[in-house]
């Protein structure tokens, strides 16, 4: 199957909001080749298919944060009368059933592949982070003796205390 949309382009549209990887309704509408209001109409008509873990509406603060990140409204996120919706991976998969077109099916396949690729990358990074932590622990254990010795050398010697008062030396 010829790539309808490059995976890299889709990956750039996947955002992390509230700890979830999501896509904006306007970005999805653009990919599907439909107006954002049409996409949201279909979602509202089939709202029982979109529980909170499939789709949620952004707060004003989250929307402002997005606008400041993109620093432009030309990406389709500005000039809206309502707060945008975002769709999780499951929500995106459900969209293909409510946007009943050949393009929606093809786009969904590409989006699902992008989500899978991102999941694999995250898993790879977690594996690298664990390996690094293991090496760091091993490194610390091997050089603990050296670090302890250096710490001992860094402690200044206690000064010899002089006795207070006058002392006569003993006559022999």
**Number of domains composing the chain:** 1
Record the tokens describing residue 14, joined without a space.
Answer: 């996947």
pLDDT of residue 67: 80
Q: How far apart are CA 87 and CA 53, in angstroms?
A: 8
In a domain, 114, yes or no: yes
In a domain, 164, yes or no: no
In a domain, 92, yes or no: yes
pLDDT surpassing 70 at residue 82: yes
In a domain, 45, yes or no: yes
In a domain, 1, yes or no: no
In a domain, 107, yes or no: yes
Q: How far apart are CA 132 and CA 163, in angstroms?
A: 55
Q: Tell which residue, 61, 50, 49, 5, has the closest CA to residue 28.
A: 5
Q: How far apart are CA 140 and CA 134, in angstroms?
A: 10
Structural domain of 42? 7-126
**pLDDT mean across residues, the chain:** 77
Beta bridge partners of residue 16, listed in sequence order:
21
In a domain, 167, yes or no: no
In a domain, 168, yes or no: no
pLDDT surpassing 70 at residue 78: no
pLDDT tens-digit readout, 100-132: 777 777 887 888 888 888 778 777 767 766 665
pLDDT tens-digit readout, 145-166: 655 566 576 666 676 666 676 6
**Residue 62 near residue 17, CB atoms below 8 Å:** yes
The domain spanning residue 79 has which CATH number? 3.10.260
Q: Please count the other Cβ atoms lying within 10 Å of the Cβ belonging to residue 37.
A: 13
DSSP 3-state helix, strand, coil percentages of the chain (rounded to 5)? 60, 10, 35
């Amino acid at each position: 199957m010829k790539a309808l949309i490059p995976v890299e382009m889709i990956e750039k549209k996947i955002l992390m909001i509230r700890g979830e990887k999501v896509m904006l309704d306007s970005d999805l509408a653009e990919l599907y080749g439909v107006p954002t209001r049409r996409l949201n109409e279909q979602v509202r008509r089939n709202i029982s298919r979109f529980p909170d873990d499939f789709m949620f509406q952004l707060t004003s603060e989250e929307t402002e944060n997005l606008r400041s990140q993109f620093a432009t409204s030309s990406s389709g996120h500005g000039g809206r009368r309502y707060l945008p919706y975002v769709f999780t991976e499951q929500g995106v998969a459900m969209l293909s059933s409510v946007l009943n077109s050949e393009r929606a099916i093809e786009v969904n396949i590409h989006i699902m592949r992008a989500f899978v690729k991102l999941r694999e990358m995250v898993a790879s990074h977690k594996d690298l982070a664990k390996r690094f932590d293991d090496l760091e622990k091993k490194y610390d254990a091997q050089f603990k003796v050296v670090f302890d010795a250096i710490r001992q050398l860094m402690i200044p010697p206690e000064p010899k205390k002089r006795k207070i008062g006058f002392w006569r030396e003993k006559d022999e």
